[in-house]
Amino acid sequence: MKILFICTHNRCRSILSEAITNHLSQGNLKAYSAGSQPVGEVHPLSIKYLQARGISTQGLKSQSWDEFESINPDVVVTVCDSAANESCPVWFGQCIKIHWGLPDPSKLEGTEDEIRNAFFAVMDTIEVRTKKILAVDFEHMNKADLKRTLISISEE
């Protein structure tokens, strides 16, 4: 299954989701990330905290969702409320679309410990949801059942 994580700027939450999903799935899923208005760079703390957890950051980059039409993702996951409310490209029409609504730790002001803890909390949520997806026998599910299952995971 191919999952495309979308966030408006594609610099933090979608990047974290891509890296963590690919790390945990060991090839059983293929995750990508993109943005509707990418800023062109990954937030440095996204890289720092992924590396702190031993997750590869190789190949991560901020890029437009227009670059992913040819991969035909099975699932598109919006991770920020802004992206969830945007008009999506027509080619998303065949995908299952779900929303995770993750808080943005890169916008937090506070001590280094508070910021690190905010990043780790978001990363923990992504990890839990990814593990639940990996436990699903999605290859033997129809599209409607898969969508219901993915929505229930996002609401837990």
Task: Say which residues have a Cβ less than 8 Å from residue 119's Cβ, sequence separation at least 6.
Answer: 16, 45, 46, 49, 105
Mark whether 88 is an active-site residue. Answer: yes
Out of 24, 63, 81, 88, the active site residue is: 88
Mark whether 12 is an active-site residue. Answer: no
Distance in angstroms (rounded) separating the CA atoms of residues 30 and 22: 6
Out of 15, 31, 80, 146, the active site residue is: 80
Asked if 2 contacts 30 with a C-beta cutoff of 8 angstroms, the reply is: yes
Distance in angstroms (rounded) separating the CA atoms of residues 36 and 67: 11
Mark whether 7 is an active-site residue. Answer: yes
- Give me the residues paired with residue 30 across strands: 2
- Residue position matching structure tokens 């720092």: 48
Out of 1, 3, 4, 7, the active site residue is: 7
| Active-site amino acid positions | 7, 80, 88
